[in-house]
Amino acid sequence: ETGVTQTPRHLVMGMTNKKSLKCEQHLGHNAMYWYKQSAKKPLELMFVYNFKEQTENNSVPSRFSPECPNSSHLFLHLHTLQPEDSALYLCASSQDPGGAGDRETQYFGPGTRLLVL
């Protein structure tokens, strides 16, 4: 148990559906992240939120829309996805944006396994 939870753990959706992934951290951290892990590819950073403000969008298509209503919750809204978007979506948090060493350690949730049909 890392203190970062993600729901749902598994999701199957059609290309015309709209769904949302939820992440919650119970660690009192100030930064939250979305990563994508496709089969046989390294983890890719998608979005970074720092004190609820988006600080990085790693050239992610607009069919992925993040939302961070507070420093404990992070959502990834999905619409009109493509089959190649099928992947493991991981959420992470860290304590102190701009910190060093210990305060930069990222804690990951278990991920949501997404299948787009």
Kindly state whether residue 71 participates in binding other proteins, applying the rule CB under 8 A: no
CB of 10 to other proteins, least distance (A): 11
Is residue 108 a contact point for other proteins (CB under 8 A)? yes
- CA 82, CA 114: separation in Å to the nearest integer? 11
Alpha-carbon distances of 62 from 6, 102, 116, rounded to whole Å: 22, 33, 16
Q: Which is nearer to other proteins, 10 or 69 (CB)?
A: 10
Query: CA nearest 35: which of 80, 79, 94?
Result: 94
> Please, which residue, 69 or 100, has the CB nearer to other proteins?
100
Please list the helix, strand and coil fractions of the chain in percent, rounded to the nearest 5, in that order: 5, 55, 40
Q: How far is the CB of 78 from other proteins (least distance, A)?
A: 19
* Joined tokens for residue 114: 């997404």
Residue 97 near other proteins by CB under 8 A: yes
By C-beta, is 79 or 107 nearer to other proteins? 107
- Tell me whether residue 61 or residue 104 sits nearer to other proteins (CB atom): 104
